A and B are shown apart, each in its own frame.
Chain A
């Protein structure tokens, strides 16, 4: 089975994000970048699929030379080969990114594609379902459980107040949620082997984005905090606020 994983190199979830002076970007100095946390579940599910069904796992990303670190990390976890798509700094939106990726997916012709349910930088959750729709494939987004037979899949996804079970046929795009599996760690042997695994680099020219960035701004400030007191003695003051200001009582 040919298995493809789409990954992204993003600032870690514990990173503090500061908008740069230009109001158009974030300050990247001192930021630590990692494999997008939801993609960890995608890589793990791909490796598990390979272990049960055989085949190869290819990881692919769209990004600059700095993303090689994340691709090598995926190779160290057990992926067989990697592809980096370079857009030479050209601005991409969900449409342009997914179009480039979908073209390459079509060329690689895998049986199944795994990716995270969203990248924790733009939080768009567009790329997976977009690729599936563009290629006319099935999709299970935000998978919290997943099972594969030879030509079909089943799984669940969280919905408001519960879950729904989804079935479909291959080829398919599966976007992965936390809780799908327990991602493994890279071991020393994996890290050594990753250095010798193939990493292909290709250029792509994105179509013009359908959005233009106006600005990036810090979140609106929270009101100044008030400490009502210490211990249970502060409860009456809190009740008064909940009743008269928050109006939930």
Chain B
């Protein structure tokens, strides 16, 4: 039995998303254990130059759909191209990363292929010939493990689940017919937030603030602490309470009805730790909580806690982190 894995490689502006290489690495690990084959699919405009980089991470073939029409993402067009690549490559499994693009794209591909799908998997393994996948449900209040019973099968992998690993293969380029405009839906424009901001879900450190900050003006403490870790390291998050109060935009909310984050370090400032907030951050590697209420539920999930007023502690913590980094 020789199974074929096809991994969608996401690129934006000609740059490969690291999370895609994580999904490719997972496919390579699984395929290697059963003598399977790993292919990749790449969609965009003038992106062929990326194929050699994809080969370094273990793709023996790269199915490439290239056209000026595909320069920006179109769910309608990309799903057609990826479904075609899945057919051309006779893929048993189609993997992608659970990014904004991946979670729009893969369900469409699954529908076109009539395939089953697991979204946001955090663990995937083979038991004999069976693919077994685990994913958080109820925003991580429980984990569901399923056995895949039909093929082809689609899966998105949560970003930051495993490190990408180089494992060079030939990376033969195979052309896939590119859909042409008009498309049913398409991205008109990318409206980037300020480019020096680290995306919440990709940050190694997330500093979040809650009601304990007392007033929106004090948010500079949260931002100051994030900045203290240095450029590109930390992102800022917020509790639902401060989002609902209008202090912060919803795009910063961490929790069950916001972003689910899993950074190396999560720092909760003045956040009590409501169940729906804990659901969004409790898979972080390390959690630090600063709160004046020693009984706050956030301390139950924190590796390290400091009891006290964030208004008093955070300014001094910022200085201490800066001097530790300079030392």
Contacts and interface: CB of A to CB of B under 8 A. Distances in A.
A178 B306 contact: no
B22 to A, nearest CB: 14
Given A161-B198, A231-B313, A139 B76 contact: yes
A164 B189 contact: yes
A188 interface: no
B116 A248 contact: no
Interface stretch (B48-56, B60-68, B132-140): B132-140
Label chain A's interface by main secondary structure: mixed
A123 interface: yes
B118 interface: yes
Given A139-B104, A225-B299, A123 B148 contact: no
Nearest to B19: A160
Contacts of B132: 214
Interface in B300-316: 300-309, 312-313, 316
Interface stretch (A65-73, A107-115, A191-199, A204-212): A204-212
A226 B279 CA distance: 21
Given A138-B185, A231-B306, A248-B233, 6 more contacts: A16-B141, A26-B138, A163-B192, A166-B186, A210-B148, A242-B324
20 contacts: A93-B117, A123-B120, A129-B75, A129-B105, A129-B107, A132-B108, A133-B112, A139-B76, A141-B103, A159-B99, A161-B195, A161-B197, A162-B190, A164-B191, A178-B250, A211-B146, A212-B149, A219-B282, A227-B307, A231-B307
B150 interface: yes
Contacts of A45: none
A222 B301 contact: yes
A1 interface: no
A219 B143 contact: yes
Contact of A165 (B146, B187, B204): B187
A218 interface: yes
A243 interface: yes
A159 B143 contact: no
B141 A225 contact: no
Contact of B184 (A127, A134, A168, A223): A168
A163 B137 CA distance: 26
Contacts of A93: 116-117
Contact of A94 (B112, B117, B256): B117
A234 B204 CA distance: 23
Q: Which of A37, A94, A128 has the most CB of B within 10 A?
A: A94
A212 B193 contact: no
A140 B99 CA distance: 15
Interface in A81-96: 93-95
Given A144-B250, A163-B191, A230-B306, A125 B324 contact: no
A208 B307 CA distance: 53
B63 to A, nearest CB: 19
Interface stretch (B26-34, B84-92, B257-265): B257-265
A238 B233 contact: no
Q: Which of A15, A243, A249 has the most CB of B within 10 A?
A: A249
Contacts of B186: 166-168
B265 A248 contact: yes
Interface of A: 11, 13-17, 19, 26, 37-38, 93-95, 98, 120-134, 136-142, 144, 154, 156-169, 172, 177-179, 208-219, 222-223, 225-232, 234-236, 238-239, 241-243, 245-246, 248-249
B99 A160 contact: yes
Return the 10 tightest CB-CB contacts between A and B, nearest first. Answer: A210-B116, A168-B185, A210-B150, A179-B250, A133-B108, A162-B192, A133-B111, A138-B184, A161-B199, A17-B141
Contacts of A131: 111
B73 interface: yes
B321 interface: yes
B79 interface: yes
B138 A248 contact: no
Nearest to A231: B308
A172 to B, nearest CB: 7
B137 A122 contact: yes
Contacts of A178: 250, 253, 257-258
Given A95-B114, A243-B324, A219 B141 contact: yes
A213 B146 contact: yes
B256 A129 contact: no
Contacts of B199: 160-161
Given A14-B276, A179-B251, A211-B147, A167 B136 contact: no
